[in-house]
């Protein structure tokens, strides 16, 4: 995928890092930007990456610092009163106004919804962990034409309860109705974690076992017998970014 057809300059994807992986895990799995670089970089070696640690207060100088943007997941809630979250929500609105390509993952999915007028809160259904199945209700232009149902790792209690005005809800499940949303041709958000490996999902569930509840924990661990469709979702993200930037893919 290139930023524009016939251009030899690789597309620059700006990653907005919103959390820090626990030190005992980071040695094996890296930080969240590393997970995305591993997934997307393997699918498209031409990609260039830049990272801003927004949780630590490091923000881009402007929306044109990258060709496209990606917001990672986080243990924080998007409605928490933290200066860096308020600043991130404002930056999302800047990206939206400029129609810059943006992908939001989990926390990023929720941050986009909240920043653009939607509602995010803890679900009465509790925690979603392990491998879930989401299904597309419609096939967007970047969809691969395959099975509308897909397997994805999840780890969340917050959900987008009301999508932002103008959002198209593309996919969901009984547990999470608003799991994949798109705003115009420039913003795509996903509640699930294509960047997670099953081993990393297992680490998180073990760590949060007492919080998520034993029944949910056991169900989530058992779900890992099936493999998530990580590369398939990675290709969707690249296809979306290719269309949004006007590049080939």
Residues that are catalytic: 106, 193, 195
Nearest to 160 by CA among 212, 211, 105, 123: 123
Q: How far apart are CA 176 and CA 159, in angstroms?
A: 7
Q: Which residues make beta-bridge pairs with 17? A: 53
Q: How far apart are CA 67 and CA 2, in angstroms?
A: 10
- Provide the token pair at 99: 């129609």
Provide the 3-class DSSP secondary structure of residue 93.
helix
Sheet holding 102-105, edge to edge: 48-53, 12-17, 68-71, 102-105, 187-190, 180-183, 167-172, 128-136, 149-156
Q: How far is CA 196 from CA 61, 121, 201, 248, in A?
A: 29, 23, 7, 26
Instruction: Find the helix or strand (DSSP H, E) in which 208 lies.
Output: none
Task: Scan for tokens 């029944």, then name that residue.
Answer: 215
């Amino acid at each position: 995928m290139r930023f524009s057809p016939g251009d030899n300059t690789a597309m620059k994807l700006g990653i907005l890092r919103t959390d820090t992986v626990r030190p005992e895990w980071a040695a094996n799995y890296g930080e969240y930007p590393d997970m995305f670089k591993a997934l997307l970089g393997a699918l498209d070696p031409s990609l260039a990456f830049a990272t801003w640690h927004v949780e630590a207060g490091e923000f881009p100088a402007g929306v044109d610092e990258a060709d496209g943007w990606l917001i990672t997941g986080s243990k924080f809630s998007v409605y928490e009163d933290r200066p860096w979250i308020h600043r991130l929500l404002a930056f999302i609105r800047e990206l939206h106004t400029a129609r810059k390509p943006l992908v939001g993952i989990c926390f990023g999915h929720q941050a986009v919804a909240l920043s653009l007028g939607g509602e995010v809160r803890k679900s009465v259904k509790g925690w979603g962990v392990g491998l879930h199945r989401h299904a597309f209700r419609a096939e967007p232009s970047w969809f691969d034409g395959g099975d509308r149902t897909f397997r994805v790792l999840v780890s969340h209690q917050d959900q987008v309860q009301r999508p932002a005005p103008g959002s198209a809800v593309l996919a969901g499940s009984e547990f999470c109705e608003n799991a994949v949303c798109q705003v115009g041709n420039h913003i795509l958000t996903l509640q699930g974690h294509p960047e997670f490996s099953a081993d990393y999902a297992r680490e998180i569930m073990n760590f949060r076992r007492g919080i998520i509840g034993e029944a949910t924990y056991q169900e989530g661990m058992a779900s890992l017998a099936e493999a998530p469709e990580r590369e398939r979702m990675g290709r969707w993200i690249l296809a979306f970014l290719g269309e949004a930037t006007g590049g080939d893919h």
